[in-house]
Amino acid sequence: MRLTFLGTGTSFGVPQVGCGCAVCASTDLRDKRTRVGAMVESEGLRILIDTPPELRLQLLASGITRADAVLFTHDHADHTHGIDDIRAISVQRDGALPIYGPAETLESLARKFPYIFDAELRPLPGTSKPEGFATALAPGVTVRIGHLDVTPVELPHGRLRVFGYRIGPLAYVTDAKRLPDAAVAALAGADVLVLNALFRTPHPTHLSIGEAVEAARRVGAPRTYLTHLTHQTSHAELLATLPPGIEPAYDGLTIEVGSH
């Protein structure tokens, strides 16, 4: 299995508009962070996780030309508002692109982007539109996508819930405030854990860097990659201060999962 980090930045992105801090002005390409999204590939199957606002640019940068399904983690704009960019993917298919996620996320997307999900809204001859077929998931109930078993893991995110996903040897979590015991049990045994880490100080809706390190210790994956990073820490600085087995991800990073 292969995982590509399409974007690894917080909702502001890095550099942040109007900011001239050292990280925003950095020439290290690992400090250029678009909004969070990822692609999972296994034996020809490609599953896109979230559709961030820069999705088109992310797919072009990574050389990715298709996807077989989309998994949404939650409804926030930095994870969903690039959904129109699936048009370039859905027009290649014989039928709508399968889209999965929490019921409330899919309902919200259908309200905001009805043309994507309403099969009755057909494009005019000579034009096209993105097409998706939505399937709501339930926490802990495994769904089969292609040849992969995908299990949603419910996590708190302020007043909302987000879904993390266990996909074989991969445990993928973003925007969580904490990992309840049930989530730790569902993620245990993974080869790779992806985990959000915001500031060094506590935040009401996200894991801090220190909290993410502790959460990673509880899950016990051999390799943990931190995502949803801000302009408060550079890649090099964060890498130098993290314990062995934990490192920051960066846009475009591709790793093999299940090979260790």
140 Rama sector, left if φ>0, alpha if ψ -120 to 50, beta otherwise = left
CB 208 within 8 Å of CB 200 = yes
DSSP bridge pairs for 70:
48, 99
CA atoms 145, 148, 153, 158: torsion sign: negative
pLDDT one-digit tens code per residue, 53-99? 999 999 999 999 999 999 999 999 999 999 999 999 999 998 899 99
Q: How many degrees, rounded to 5, is the angle at CA 14 between CA 218 and CA 116? A: 85
Average pLDDT of the chain, as a whole number: 96
Q: How far apart are the first and last CA of the chain?
A: 11
Q: What are the pLDDT digits (tens) for 181-232?
A: 999 999 999 999 999 999 999 999 999 999 999 999 999 999 999 999 999 9
Helix (H, G, I), strand (E, B) or coil at 193: strand
pLDDT in tens, 234-246: 999 999 999 999 9
How many of the other CB atoms lie within 10 Å of CB of 149? 12
Mean pLDDT, residues 101-106 taken together: 98
Tell me the domain boundaries of the chain: 2-16+31-254
Measure the CA–CA gap between 44 and 58, rounded to whole angstroms: 19
- Judging by beta carbons within 10 Å of its beta carbon (0-12, 13-18, 19+), is residue 122 exposed, middle or buried? exposed
Average pLDDT of span 89-112: 96
Q: Which residue has the tokens 């820490």?
A: 233
User: Which pLDDT value is given to residue 95?
Assistant: 87
Is it the case that residue 164 has pLDDT exceeding 90?
A: yes
Average pLDDT over residues 103-131: 94
> Model confidence at 251, in pLDDT bands (50, 70, 90)?
very high
Using 50, 70 and 90 to split pLDDT, how confident is the model at 259? low
Pick the CATH number of 2-16+31-254 from 3.30.565.10, 1.10.10.10, 3.60.15.10, 3.30.1490.20: 3.60.15.10
Banded pLDDT at 22 (limits 50, 70, 90) = very high
Q: Token pair 């072009």 is at which residue? A: 60
Query: Is the pLDDT assigned to residue 260 strictly greater than 60?
Result: no
**One-letter identity of residue 181:** D
Q: Where are the alpha helices (DSSP H) in the chain?
A: 55-62, 77-80, 87-90, 103-112, 114-117, 181-187, 209-219, 235-241
CA distances from 191 to 7, 73, 79, 172 (A): 21, 20, 25, 11
The answer to whether residues 117 and 110 touch, using CB atoms and an 8 Å cutoff, is yes
